[in-house]
């Protein structure tokens, strides 16, 4: 990623001192309500280095939603003391807008917890519980039509098992909402599943390692069988 533009370096022309290696997470949702088809994509970009903050703290989170009424695109860029939000929406009350929201030091972002709670760089919060401020997921803000702003939150941890596999169980809580995530204790610290107080449930079925960006031809559809589709 280009440190200045926060855009993928696909030309190889960016100078080394202006490059940042990031771990990217894509979270996709496709569903219907009535006859409405919805497609939601959230992408989180977390530097492997510190980028001036703690490791894996996100430097960009982008979100898009498509449905029959129109398109919404939102991008936030967090810093130590604030996050900048840029939104393009078909809602007249939102339109095209750029805002800056102040945050407390070490504010977390719910979308990025899917990376940070894997503890790829060591125990989260030194292996203890955490309290502070969290910016709810961009999809949560969109779904509930609430302002995107930091809220008081806690993350508690405990040891447990999921289908015989030792896991660390993290419970994120803010307001009336909770998200419980189960992360396998051993490397590769995969997220084996999660539930929320709103009824959402997810479970890891299988994984595979593939250069997905190259597998875009009709003949590549067979690779979906490795994922059980």
Q: pLDDT digits over 3-21, tens only? A: 888 988 888 788 888 888 8
More confident residue, 152 or 206: 152
Mean pLDDT of 191-208: 95
Q: Whole-model pTM?
A: 0.93
Average pLDDT of the chain, as a whole number: 93
pLDDT of residue 150: 98
Q: What is the signed CA dihedral for 185, 178, 78, 16, rounded to 10 degrees?
A: 20
All structural domains of the chain with their residue ranges: 16-227
Picking from 75-84, 173-182, 194-203, 206-215, which range would have the lowest pLDDT averaged per residue?
206-215
Q: CB under 8 Å to 66, separation ≥6 — which residues?
A: 38, 39
Mean pLDDT of 82-103: 94
Rounded distance between C-alpha atoms, residue 207 and residue 209, angstroms: 7
pLDDT of residue 52: 61
Mean pLDDT of 106-115: 96
Closest CA to 48 of 57, 39, 38: 57
């Amino acid at each position: 990623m280009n440190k200045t533009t926060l855009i993928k370096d696909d030309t190889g022309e960016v100078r080394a001192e202006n490059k940042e290696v990031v771990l990217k997470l894509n979270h996709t949702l496709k569903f219907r309500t009535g006859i409405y088809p919805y497609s939601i994509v959230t992408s989180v970009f977390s530097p492997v280095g510190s980028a001036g903050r703690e490791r894996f703290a996100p430097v960009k989170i982008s979100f898009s939603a498509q449905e029959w009424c129109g398109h919404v695109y939102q991008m936030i860029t967090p810093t130590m003391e604030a996050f900048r939000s840029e939104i393009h929406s078909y809602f007249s009350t939102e339109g095209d807008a750029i805002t800056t929201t102040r945050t407390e030091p070490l504010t977390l972002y719910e979308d990025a917890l899917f990376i940070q709670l894997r503890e790829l760089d060591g125990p989260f919060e030194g292996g203890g519980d955490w309290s502070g401020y969290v910016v709810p997921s961009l999809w949560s803000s969109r779904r509930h039509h609430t302002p995107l702003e930091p809220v008081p939150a806690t993350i508690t941890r405990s040891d447990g098992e999921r289908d015989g596999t030792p896991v660390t169980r993290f419970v994120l809580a803010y307001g009336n909402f909770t998200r419980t995530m189960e992360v396998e204790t051993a490397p590769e610290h995969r997220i084996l599943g999660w539930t929320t107080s709103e009824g959402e449930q997810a479970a890891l079925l299988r994984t595979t390692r593939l250069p997905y960006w190259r597998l875009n031809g009709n003949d590549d559809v067979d690779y979906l069988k490795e994922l059980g589709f």
